Chain A
Amino acid sequence: EPEVTQTPSHQVTQMGQEVILRCVPISNHLYFYWYRQILGQKVEFLVSFYNNEISEKSEIFDDQFSVERPDGSNFTLKIRSTKLEDSAMYFCASSENTNQETQYFGPGTRLLVL
């Protein structure tokens, strides 16, 4: 069964450093998303991406965040200058073109900013 994959599973970084989180969405899906979950809190929407551009972004997704689809399979989230409060689980998700509500999530990347 096709699934969303994410790398790395864990990332530890120093405050102020740049990190890139990587995702490989399900191959025939056209919408891609990033969410985050701070420990003990709700899963929160960050950004959606379609046709090589951002469709929607939340108030969390400020100038330090960016997304990219550098090739036909990868989808990345970059955090330019990490802050302590960026520590969270980051989930990538994807959906088919006509079913944006049915999103399939990857296993997540646990980011710890020290």
Chain B
Amino acid sequence: QKEVEQDPGPLSVPEGAIVSLNCTYSNSAFQYFMWYRQYSRKGPELLMYTYSSGNKEDGRFTAQVDKSSKYISLFIRDSQPSDSATYLCAMTGGSTLGRLYFGRGTQLTVWP
């Protein structure tokens, strides 16, 4: 299935860098877009969610959705070593509301 595409990385950046994580999708019915953080062998932790197009900011994290391009992004400002994890995008909407479709996840390492 190619509902949601996400570059798995790995992505390695120095502490303090701005990180950009992205996903593309094919299903125009998707309306809710989520970002999860997953540490090794742990469950996904909900970071942010956005409804429809636009931006949402929460501290150092900014989520962007461009429905016309079917493209979503997560920006992390002033990245910290504790941000090192796998970041998963997920989305849902339409008749399958509640069924989350995940990307493969991008593995991020922030080195001091």
Contacts and interface: CB of A to CB of B under 8 A. Distances in A.
A107 B42 contact: yes
Contact of A105 (B43, B51, B93, B101): B43
Given A41-B104, A42-B103, A43-B88, A56 B98 contact: yes
Among the interface residues A4, A45, A55, A95, which one has the most CB atoms of the partner chain B within 10 A? A45
B43 A48 contact: no
In terms of DSSP, what is the predominant structure of the interface of chain A?
strand
A44 B36 CA distance: 14
A31 B98 contact: yes
Interface stretch (A14-22, A67-75, A76-84, A96-104): A96-104
A106 interface: yes
B46 A104 contact: yes
B98 A48 contact: yes
Contacts of A33: 98, 100
A31 B46 CA distance: 16
Interface residues of A, number: 27
B34 interface: yes
Contacts of A66: none
A102 B49 contact: yes
A103 B43 CA distance: 12
Contacts of A91: 43-44
B32 A42 contact: no
B92 A101 contact: yes
B45 A105 contact: yes
B46 A103 contact: yes
Nearest to B102: A43
Contacts of B104: 41-42
Interface of B: 4, 32, 34, 36, 41-46, 49, 51, 88, 90, 92-93, 96-105
15 contacts: A31-B98, A42-B4, A42-B103, A42-B105, A43-B102, A45-B99, A56-B96, A56-B98, A89-B41, A91-B44, A101-B34, A101-B97, A105-B36, A107-B43, A108-B41
